[in-house]
Amino acid sequence: MSVSATVLPEKATHQQTRTFNQQLVLRALHDHSPLSRADLARLTGLTRTSVGDLVGTLIDDGLIEEVGRGQSSGGKSPILLRVAPDGRHLIGLDLGEAQFSGAVVNLRGEILRSIHLPLEGRNGDAAVELVFQLVDALRADDRSPLLGIGIGAPGIIDTSTGTVRWSVNLNWAELHLGPLLEQRYGVPVVVANDSQAAALAELTFFRRPRPNNLIVIKVGRGVGAGIILNGQLFQGDGYGAGEFGHVSMRSADAPCRCGREGCLETMTSMRALVDAARAVEPSITDESGLVSAFLAGVTSIRRIVLDAARELGVAVGWLIGALNVRHVLLVGPVAEFGDDWLGEVRWYARSSVLALLARDTQIEFGHVHDDVVVLGASALLMERQLGLGLVR
Ligand SMILES: [Zn+2]
C-alpha cells in the first residue's frame, strides 16, 4: 500500500509544500489508521524528521491523536496515531424535494445528530430561509470546531462557485447558495448535485477497496446518477453529468416538471410510481403505502413498479455501454422494493448492452440510502478542506 500524491506546483512556496505534506499525512492516517510515525514516513515518502514535525502540528491542531502503542519490532514499541474523529465537525445538508435534512458529521463520516424540516411547498427565498434555520439548529450546542458546511441539492450545481444554476422544484436559478452561507456563518461551504454527492459518499466511506470507476444512481422523487471516473467525480463540461433522469424516452409522453415530455423520471421515480399506483389503488397516497402494497404482493402495484424497473434497467444499460463502468450502485427509497426490483433492473440493464460488458458489471444496492447525500456533501467538504477522502 502507498499514498500517492496530487501534483504540487513546480515552484511551490514553503507554505504550499507544508500544506501538501500535511495532507499526505492526514490522508495516510484516514485511509490506513492506526499508523506509527515510521509507518507514515514509509507510506508518504517523507523523512522521519518531517513526519515528526508535521505530526506535532496536526496533534496541536486537534486533527490527529495518539491511540496507544503498536507491536515492537525490536526496540521501543511505537506510538500509534489516527485522525481524531471529533477534531472537526462538519455540517452536511440534503436539500431534498419533500424535506431538508441536515446532520452534524465527524471526520470518520459518522452522523452525530440529524434534523429534518419539511419543505411544505416552500421555494425561492423561503427555501433559503429554511436552509438557514436548519444550519442554526445544527450549530447550536456543538462544541467541536466547525470545518464547514457541505450541501447536496437536486439540479445543476456549479461546485466551483457554489452556485445552484437550476433547481426546478426549489425554484432556484443562478442562486449563489455557497457564498450566501459562507457570508452568514464564516466557514467554507461546498455545494454539489445530490446524486453526485451520493456517489462521493459511497466512494469515500463505504467502498473498500475503492473502485477507480463507479456509477451511483439515486432514485427517489427524481432520478440522477453520480459518476466517478479515474477516482474523481466526473461532472461533465457544465456540471450536468449524470442527469439522465431527464433523458426523453420514446415510449412515454407524460409531461415532466423540467418542461419536456417523456423523461425517464416521469416513469421511474418514486413520485411517478406513487401517482401511477394511486390511479389504480386510491388508498395509496405516499411512498410507504406504495412500498407496503408492493411487498404485500398486490398484483397491479407489482406490475407498475416492475415495469418501471425495466425502463430504468434499459437506461442503466446505456450508461454501462457508454462508460464501461463495472460497479453500478442504486441508492434511495427504491431500495425498499428489495431484490425483486433490483433483479429486474439488473436483468434489463444487462440485456441492453454488449454481453461481454454486461458479464463484468456488478449492479447492486448502495450501502446507505437515507443519509447518502448528507454524507456525500460532507465527503466533498473533507476533500476540499483537508485533502481527505477521495482516491487519487
Ligand atoms: Zn424532465
Which cell numbers hold the place of 164?
445552484
Cα-based torsion angle of the residue sequence 244, 204, 185, 371 in order, rounded to the nearest 10 degrees: 70
Mean pLDDT by 10 residues, the chain (392 residues): 55 85 91 91 94 96 92 85 95 93 94 95 94 96 92 95 92 96 97 96 84 95 95 94 88 84 93 96 96 97 97 95 96 95 97 93 90 94 82 37
CA distance 114 to 54: 34
Find the DSSP H helices in 33-174.
37-44, 48-60, 124-139
Q: Give the per-residue pLDDT at 258.
A: 87
CA distance 109 to 383: 12
CA distance 306 to 341: 6
Count CB neighbours of 269 within 10 A.
Answer: 26
3 state DSSP class of 170: coil
Distance 259 CA to ligand 1 centre (A): 6
Q: Give the per-residue pLDDT at 4.
A: 44
Distance 154 CA to ligand 1 centre (A): 13
CA distance 314 to 51: 51
For 113, half-sphere exposure in the C-beta direction (CA atoms, 13 angstrom radius) is 13
Distance 272 CA to ligand 1 centre (A): 12
Distance 256 CA to ligand 1 centre (A): 5
Distance 248 CA to ligand 1 centre (A): 7
Q: What is the DSSP letter of 165?
A: E
Q: Give the per-residue pLDDT at 391.
A: 39
CA distance 119 to 45: 50
Distance 249 CA to ligand 1 centre (A): 10
Distance 372 CA to ligand 1 centre (A): 23
Q: Give the per-residue pLDDT at 2.
A: 42
Name residue, grid cell 423540467: 258
Q: Give the per-residue pLDDT at 84.
A: 94
Helices (H) and strands (E) in the chain, counts: 13, 16
In this predicted model, what pLDDT tens digit does every residue of 29-66 receive, in sequence order?
988 889 999 999 999 999 999 999 999 999 999 999 99
Quote the longest CA-to-CA distance of the chain.
75
Q: Give the per-residue pLDDT at 92.
A: 97
